[in-house]
Structure 1
Amino acid sequence: MTHPEIKGGRGFFAGITSRFSHLGTAVHSKVNSLLGHEGLEVVNPEGGQEDVEAEATRGRFRHEDRESYWKIMHKYIGSDVTSMVTLPVLIFEPMTMLQRMAELMEYSYLLDMADECEDPYVKMVYAVSWALSVYYGYKRPWKPFNPILGETYEMVDHNGLTFLSEQVSHHPPMSSGHAENSHFSYDVTSKLRTKFLGNSVDIYPVGRTRVVLKKSGDILDLVPPPTKAHNLIFGRTFVDSPGDMVLTNLTTGDKVVLYFHPCGWFGKGRYEVDGYVYSKDEEPKLLVTGKWNTSMSYQPCDEEGEPLPGTDLKEAWRVADAPKHDKFQYTHFAHRINSFETAPQGLLPSDSRLRPDRYALEMGDMSKAGSEKSRLEERQRSEKGHREEKQVEFKPRWFDLTEEVTSTPWGDLEVYKYNGKYTEHRKLLDNSDTDKTNIEQLKSIMFNPWQFDSPADHVPHGNQVLAVNSKSTSL
């Protein structure tokens, strides 16, 4: 089928349909343009006419911090800074990348609805709304901690769902995750690539995301747009994701293409998303529109992408209320992810919550967070030396490397597969007669993702608690 032509006065929706057949070219051209220059910078993406100097003093940076950070980072312009560069702790938030992966599960009920939905196109609306929903949480400007090799994060019984992620490779940095409930299973292998551009950084999501809806057996594949963090040093830092998100039903051939509008001057176009659900024959069936920080809606459309007469927009998803003036700009769900109150019985000692640098930063002790981060990174280098000396390859505990290599718009990706061992591990714990562990006991667990013992591993747990809970100052 030929795609409908753009007609004058027919509006945005009629025009976007013609972009579907050129999706691959469009994605590559967007990436190539990002590689060449920083793109559009704004002083204040939220709007307003605030003074540039006032903008420069916002957040955690002091003037001298910015100058110091610039001296450290300017030599890395044009480089991938994902894991090869030691970054100062003042640009971090007290959460790891493994925990950020878990944030995608906040609105997992949308996948439950997709699994129950009989309409194949509305099913895709619910599924893509789930994929898009995490961007509200991801707008935070601070960087999450890079996970230590072998580090994990687990979340149990979030609306009947269990989630596990593990750092499966350090160079290149790669993470794998698995989630499951009675409606769906979710698997991801992620390998981020970055390009540091001075006052901004481009982030390319080299990854594979697969969702299996259990009722229909449909397999969904997700390709997100690239992301750009602006104004890292000068101006107010903000995150933008201009480009296409593509969700494909590999079973039926149906597809959703959503276009994330770039942020213009004074926030023009920021948050806006528009696109279509297409049939396997590439015919637009539903238009989808909204803002990733507010809500998403859909409406039946004709072959030219225009709304059908007599139909109205119907809301598919709305963002939940978030805390006001939150110290870390966290959502309520992000606080749950970080909290020991929601940690499961038998918490793995490799869990991100137990990292002393992350915990120190959460408590406001920047100095201790920096020293603990350096200590963990040094221990990780020592671990690598031990493996090389013993000629031992690192092997993840919960995920296995497959022979499959998949292509993405930003490079090839080795695929890891969940091996099912955590499910058995958790089942044994849940069926045990062990007394419930209290929060202080959980906090006392020594963070241990390591393959090899060291004297530090045998320090009594209580000493670690005294260390991470030492008197601290506010951020």
Structure 2
Amino acid sequence: TPISHYLHYEATSHVLTGDKCVLNFKPCGMFGKELHKVEGYIQDKNKKKHCVIYGKWTECMWSVDPQAYEAHKKSEKKGDKKQKNVSHSGSENDEADNMPEVQETVSVVPGSTLLWRIDSRPAHSSRMYNFTTFAMSLNELEPGMEAMLAPTDCRFRPDIRAMENGNIDEASKEKERLEEKQRAARKERAKNDEDWSTRWFRLSTNPHTGNQDWIYNGDYFNRNYKDLPDIY
């Protein structure tokens, strides 16, 4: 579905340099011309732009000198077709979703540095909801990992394990059981006038931004998993 509005994202290095990365996710438009397109820049604490970042979040991202980028944009507006790719149509991007090979449609500015490029999807991804190799591995539970993970880790969820093993009926039953268990736990806390508290994060003031934030308390990797709630 075409996106009629854009997303704006900012990330600032508060601790080291004060540099800020600003990214704008472009609206798709009526004919998909701007589909998946991202443009932005990195600036220092004095608001001087050091590089431009551009590309597509479904394909690749590049960085280049701001002056080179602006010159390239002007040449595109003047109709310099040599700098353009053959196609930017939304239909070809849709077809690429069903193919394991990456089909890049980003017009690369001369002098750019490649920051990131998506890996080709595995040949059997169509049988795995078109997941990437990384997405397929997110819930993997390798032998020996049980001793390293907290018992509340989502990789231990019985409904997920059943689904990944292809047992859909068992997965559905386990999901319903977990939901009922969560409701019962909430009722018990309300009955005893108890608030839910997080184990490894606390809501506090971020010392770098001055805003309310979830601050990591540093205890997770001590692997001390005693007294954790039985959520599964």
What is the TM-score with the length of structure 2 in the denominator? 0.66
Is the Cα–Cα contact under 8 Å of residues 404 and 414 in structure 1 kept in the other structure? yes
When residues 406 and 262 of structure 1 are mapped into structure 2, their CA distance, relative to the original with a 3 A threshold, is farther
Is the Cα–Cα contact under 8 Å of residues 64 and 112 in structure 2 kept in the other structure? yes
Query: 1:334 matched to which residue of 2?
Result: 135
Determine whether 1:344 maps to 2:108: no
From 284, 294, 297, give the equivalent of 2:49.
284
How far does the alpha carbon of each residue in 1:361-418 deviate from its partner, in whole angstroms, 9 at most, with x for none?
32334333232222111111111111122222222222233256999xxxxx853222
Determine whether 1:361 maps to 2:163: yes
Is the Cα–Cα contact under 8 Å of residues 405 and 414 in structure 1 kept in the other structure? no
Query: 2:197 matched to which residue of 1?
Result: 395
How far does the alpha carbon of each residue in 1:1-56 deviate from its partner, in whole angstroms, 9 at most, with x for none?
xxxxxxxxxxxxxxxxxxxxxxxxxxxxxxxxxxxxxxxx45xxxxxxxxxxxxxx
How far does the alpha carbon of each residue in 1:406-443 deviate from its partner, in whole angstroms, 9 at most, with x for none?
99xxxxx85322222222227x9xxxxxxxxxxxxxxx
Determine whether 1:324 maps to 2:123: yes
From 366, 375, 380, give the equivalent of 2:182.
380
Structure 1 stretches of 5 or more lacking a match? 1-40, 43-227, 229-239, 408-412, 429-447, 452-456, 458-475
Is the Cα–Cα contact under 8 Å of residues 273 and 292 in structure 1 kept in the other structure? yes
When residues 263 and 365 of structure 1 are mapped into structure 2, their CA distance, relative to the original with a 3 A threshold, is farther
**Cα distance between partner residues in 1 of 2:201 and 2:144:** 21
Query: 2:230 matched to which residue of 1?
Result: 450
When residues 414 and 241 of structure 1 are mapped into structure 2, their CA distance, relative to the original with a 3 A threshold, is farther
**Cα distance between partner residues in 2 of 1:414 and 1:339:** 34
Query: 1:370 matched to which residue of 2?
Result: 172
When residues 329 and 394 of structure 1 are mapped into structure 2, their CA distance, relative to the original with a 3 A threshold, is same
Give matches, 1:164-313, under 5 Å: 242-251=6-15, 252-265=17-30, 267-302=32-67, 305-306=70-71, 312-313=111-112
Query: 1:421 matched to which residue of 2?
Result: 219
**Cα distance between partner residues in 2 of 1:385 and 1:406:** 38
**Cα distance between partner residues in 1 of 2:135 and 2:141:** 12
How far does the alpha carbon of each residue in 1:56-83 deviate from its partner, in whole angstroms, 9 at most, with x for none?
xxxxxxxxxxxxxxxxxxxxxxxxxxxx
User: What's the CA shift for 1:262?
Assistant: 2.0
CA RMSD of aligned residues (A): 3.4
When residues 332 and 270 of structure 1 are mapped into structure 2, their CA distance, relative to the original with a 3 A threshold, is same
Residues paired across the two proteins, number: 188
Is the Cα–Cα contact under 8 Å of residues 403 and 415 in structure 1 kept in the other structure? yes
Higher strand share: 1
**Cα distance between partner residues in 1 of 2:162 and 2:121:** 24
User: What's the CA shift for 1:306?
Assistant: 4.1
Structure 2 stretches of 5 or more lacking a match? 73-109
User: What's the CA shift for 1:352?
Assistant: 0.9
Query: RCO higher in 1 or 2 (8 Å CA, sep ≥ 6)?
Result: 1
